[in-house]
Amino acid sequence: MFNKAWIYVGLTSVFELIWLYGFNRAHTLMEWAIVIGFIVLDLNFLAKACQYLAAGTVYAVFAATGTIGTILMDTFLLGTSISIGMMACMALILIGVIGLNLSDPSSDEEESHG
């Protein structure tokens, strides 16, 4: 069952990518203030997600989306190249996160109780 905890995980992942992109683009004090605002929002959604899901599960998804999203953002927005090896490693990260989520016994308990 999809619940608000996964919405928080999605939001923290999106906001992480926004502020990471901002690191490459911010030059003025106002731009840096906006980046800091996105960091604060990101950490807020991360904390909310951890209230409802196991911290390890949240962090695994957060780290995976940050890693893969940053590589894809660098490739498509900043023009860096991506190799077959990088794509293979991104696939391994995805497989690992999916495997961790599927084997998390706390998610079974939450579904049966909630």
pLDDT tens track of the chain, all 114 residues? Answer: 458 888 999 999 999 999 999 998 999 999 999 999 999 999 999 999 999 888 888 988 989 999 999 999 999 988 899 999 999 999 999 999 888 888 877 655 554 444
Task: State the residue for tokens 């706390």.
Answer: 106
Q: What is the largest CA-CA distance in the chain?
A: 50
Residues 6+ apart with CB under 8 A from 6: 49, 53
- What tokens appear for 30 in the block? 């106002």
pTM for the model? 0.78
